[in-house]
Structure 1
């Protein structure tokens, strides 16, 4: 077998979802590590008055592509934007573009999807299932197609505890569901959704499961592979550590914790936090396309599924995530923090609800009251409400653990040459979690919030100021409690003196023991 860059040399690639988080990283890595690739077609729709070409031009000028700009200044000439909309008939492709794609494409990466967990079922079906069906129909017309890669999610079958690298039968026939949704109004669909998704937590995981089965049923003679990443996070190494460009998933939660807004969250400290760096997923995706594509003629065309996860190989728990976030943001604080970072995970829903009221809602109301008194627009309750909605969406995933079979991922790694293993590294056994989490948190600071590291001294000074305010407030609170309750009651004073004397005796005993040693 040829190595991975050699396989892609001279190939024409098609990517959907290239403007999304994973799509960008896929495009950058493909062009940088496989410089011999002939061209990359990206299907993009017009948005906010910008043409597909303008959107791509803006995208490749971002921080992510800086390394590629230095190494290959003319890489942009290989990217060809195709005007398309995955929700419209025939993907809104012109006849000319359909013909060009049919004649030239060798490899398809279907990354486009809605990742909003609470998307209405009709919309989720349009983007995650029907768009996949249209992409497969287009792929069947491609005369030189070697491999079709479908990006799914490791949580597509989260109603199971053990998830193997196979396509599972869906809860309903996707064809019948598509037909039913055509005549149902939105209100009826909303009522039916909980009954349809059953034990799955949201429409995202439900429609992703349907899409996988659709791929299996409608692939026909196409060579197909499915990649299932778990919770995709910031980059591990490439093109540089900690790159992230959005608030989605855990990133927004990390930022809220760093700002001191998030103080409590429902999660199990012992549950596995199955985070997987985005560059690990992309390296595995490119390697999977290489393996299936180069083996197309000699291997039976069964669909290979890859569970791209970390929990079974290099487990990391939510309690450890909590510790890393608190430590990183106390050492390298975010600018203009609301409070000192001190998030706590609680598995008991009643305890969590109490602390949510005490540490989220009440401070937000007080702060908004202060803003209103000073003539400014209140905003903290709005932020807290959005934060609570995001946490409710993630609660299911922070409170459960799964066992994923990763035999195909191990097999794929074993097929690669030593050089390819270095360039396209997805061996998560090498991942050092504490270092990764620090880079992840710093990535949210640098690339999402656009905060310069030169501002760290001022941010640390602000954090110290918040600490002093907290100590002062606590001192005043203790004095008030003393004056109002303890000083007026003989029984309360006796209890107080008893507690103080016990503490004094304990300290005296401890000091005496230390002296004797």
Structure 2
């Protein structure tokens, strides 16, 4: 090992040498290389340390091997100069990088002779499930250290060399402390082994709770309220989805509560703190350094100003403010928000990797800005507001977004405002669910959904960041500043990490905000250029599926303006006297509330109840009446857009099918449009009179995709290439069964399902020639 060089101020931790000289001939293993800091670390090693071999621990991802993933990484923009110099990504990988395929905590055997491990991988979400946080941040860490020691242990059980383990933690392992945080072990007596065991056991406990009859009954009833009309299997699928989401939510809650009960902000900082304690325990016989960055954001200089991968801590909040969707924030205006550019963090990590701490005496380094270049939340707000005032997001018809004026009223006031808004939204949504279907109702529902999205965003981020926004931590960075002072003069341009050298106006308003908003602006411009282009309402003139595809249409509310009660009255009232007509309408109206309750519960039962009223009707006479008198009236209720779409499908060679719960006689005028019509068949007695029953169950809900799958199997149809059109949430199973689902003037539930599934939503206008209350008369 290189010896330290004595200086007037004492021994230099870098021996007076450049970093490339300190790390020359060494193999440095980096974990988390597909992450933000890990990617930058790999780039820095390959760029600035030409005589250092990089090894990377990376897991497979589905069919992509570890090598495949690193090749993809090396094809990114920041590696372009390195690729060009090496002759390509594969050449660069083969010459400079060793790929070790593995995962945390299942770390494979490491190559012999690893000199330095930089462990930057870890669960960086603030609110992961508790078992996941312990698995990655504690078990993964100890497994990696054990493999590092094994790789450097000879046959006799002694170390062949003293590797240096560099652990990337976070400054916020200090937890809910206040005041000065030294660069040292945090004082606590938490047993990380016992906490890890308990954290992992929570998965089984909560899974078991999720399967109890009480819990399942509650989840099933929630699913039924939303999906009852669609069918039992849809309800069952949604129940299981809710159960899994409940398990995850409870594991997150368990982590948060356990962390706060012991003095930490969240399970992320809690498990990272216990990871530090595990490092001190497991790595007692080797060299250990712990690097604690604060809030890591985009680069100041390298690989270029503003470089960032993905959205980190501040970006969602900055973007939400710029869109006018963050009315307040529960921050103390004078609290320090400790932001540090990622290139400063990476530079510090490599400098730390080049040091030689004493065996068994971990060194700690804070990479932060608050000690010498403090930025308060009020200052941050001012810079972000100034940026968006000068460079607003392009708005819609109403122009640029209105930027909220923050008053910093305190966390309690923000919580009251959010809670009141959430309650108001819940009431409005409940009222809207009872409103009749209309364009206005759908427009109001879309507005409510946007509000719901904003409220959910605010709830999530205010809950996550509330304590960080009011923290009173002061991170001492004496060790880090001393290490920076030991840098060779020739390394200052490439490896500087003194966070006092930049000003926040330049960084935030000219570097960071432009960098994070640029891709959002490009996406917004692309959306404006494309407009609301359909995703499943495809141009049929370009469709090549031909006879291998179906086009399936629902009737009522989709291609035709009517309902089964109105249809019954069409067939029944013309044969009655005026008084008898009024009496029959009165009887139907008295039954209407019961019919509606039945329909909300089960569409099939509703249809059976209505069709009982056909009892005694002469089926042949009914068909003649429809053919002679009702056909023009029925055809006048068809949407011209729907008719054109059906014909376009036929022109494309698709088999057109009408599936409806309407009684078959009423579909007779539609036969020329469709290749197949599947409708409800009225049962008759020996005299040809309707019994009031059907010949079989009506094809509704989950019966429709079952029929479609059978038809597809027997006719060589590819449902993935097929189309379906419907207006009601009860048709969700049918729409889900095909590759191209289209919601037509949908009810609110289906509109929301269409948005979630990225289905097209179309409005097929229907303007009947006659009033809804005009009865069809005999044709001359």
How many residues end up aligned between the 2 structures? 440
Compute the displacement of 1:335 (Å).
Answer: 4.4
Match of 1:175 among 193, 204, 215: 193
1:107 aligns with 2:107: no
> Structure 1, residues 227-252: CA drift from partner, whole Å, max 9, x if none?
00011111111111112222231111
Aligned match of 2:65: 51
Match for residue 100 of structure 2?
Answer: 82
Aligned to 2:616: none
Structure 1 residue 421 displacement after superposition: 2.3
CA separation in 1, counterparts of 2:483 and 2:494? Answer: 14
SS in 1 for 2:186: coil
Greater shift after overlay, 108-117 or 399-408? 399-408
Q: State the match for 1:437 in structure 2.
A: 508
For 1:45-69, what per-residue CA distance to the aligned partner results, in whole angstroms no more than 9, with x for missing partners? 1224332222222222233334544
Q: Residue 141 of structure 1 aligns to a residue in which SS?
A: helix
Q: How does 1:282-297 map to 2 (within 5 A)?
A: 282-292=346-356
Question: Structure 2 regions of 5+ residues with no counterpart?
Answer: 1-14, 153-160, 210-250, 433-438, 530-780
Q: Which one has a bigger Cα radius of gyration?
A: 2
Task: State the partner residue of 1:419.
Answer: 490
Corresponding residue for residue 474 of structure 1:
none
Equivalent position of 2:317 in the other structure: 253
Aligned to 1:373: 443
Task: Give, in whole Å, the separation in 2 of the partners of 1:31 and 1:362.
Answer: 55
Task: Give the equivalent residue in structure 2 for 1:157.
Answer: 174
Larger mean CA deviation between 372-381 and 163-172 belongs to 372-381
Greater relative contact order structure (CA < 8 Å, 6+ sep)? 1
Q: Of the candidates 333, 353, 377, which is equivalent to residue 392 of structure 2?
A: 333
What is the match of residue 405 of structure 1?
476
CA 1:21–1:380 in structure 2 vs 1: closer, same or farther (change >3 Å)?
farther
Q: Note if contact 1:262-1:360 (Cα within 8 Å) is conserved in structure 2.
A: no
CA RMSD of aligned residues (A): 3.2
For residue 304 of structure 1, what is the aligned residue in structure 2?
363
Counterparts of 1:198-213 in structure 2, within 5 Å, are: 198=261, 199-213=263-277
Inter-CA distance 18–145: structure 2 relative to 1 (3 Å threshold)? farther
Matches within 5 A, 1:477-516: none
Of the three residues 31, 34, 53, the one matched with 1:19 is 34
Q: Which residue is 1:346 aligned to?
A: 408
Query: Is the 1:281–1:426 contact (alpha carbons within 8 Å) kept by the matching residues of 2?
Result: yes
Inter-partner Cα distance in structure 2 for 1:441 and 1:277: 13
Q: How does 1:386-405 map to 2 (within 5 A)?
A: 386-405=457-476
Q: How far off its partner does 1:8 sit?
A: 2.4
Paired residues of 2:387 and 2:513 also in contact (CA < 8 A): yes
Task: After superposing the two structures, state which structure 1 stretch, 208-217 or 62-71, moved more.
Answer: 62-71
Unaligned stretches of 5+ residues in structure 1: 460-517
TM-score normalised over the length of structure 2: 0.52
> What are the equivalent positions in structure 2 for 1:184-203 lying under 5 Å apart?
184=202, 185-187=204-206, 194-195=257-258, 197-198=260-261, 199-203=263-267
Query: Match of 1:492?
Result: none
**Please, which moves more after superposition, 323-332 or 141-150?**
141-150
Residue 332 of structure 1 and its aligned partner are, at CA, apart by: 2.0
Instruction: Report the counterpart of residue 597 of structure 2 in structure 1.
Output: none
2:151 corresponds to = 142
Note the C-alpha offset of 1:102: 3.7
Distance in structure 2 (CA, Å) of the matches to 1:64 and 1:402: 35
Bigger mean CA deviation after superposition, 356-365 or 140-149: 356-365
Range with greater deviation from structure 2 (368-377 or 52-61) = 368-377
Distance 1:358 1:402 in 2: 32
Change (3 A) 1:390 1:178: same
User: 1:230-241, aligned counterparts within 5 Å?
Assistant: 230-241=294-305
1:34 Cα offset (Å) = 1.3
Q: 1:79 to 1:176 in 2, by over 3 A?
A: same
Structure-2 residue corresponding to 1:493: none
Q: Which residue of 2 aligns with 1:120?
A: 129
**Closer/same/farther in 2, CA of residues 352 and 322 from structure 1, 3 Å limit:** same
How far apart are residue 370 of structure 1 and its match?
Answer: 7.4
Q: Counterparts of 1:154 and 1:358 in 2: how far apart (Å)?
A: 35
- Residue 312 of structure 1, CA deviation: 0.8
Q: CA deviation at 1:414?
A: 2.1
Alignment partner, residue 768 of structure 2? none
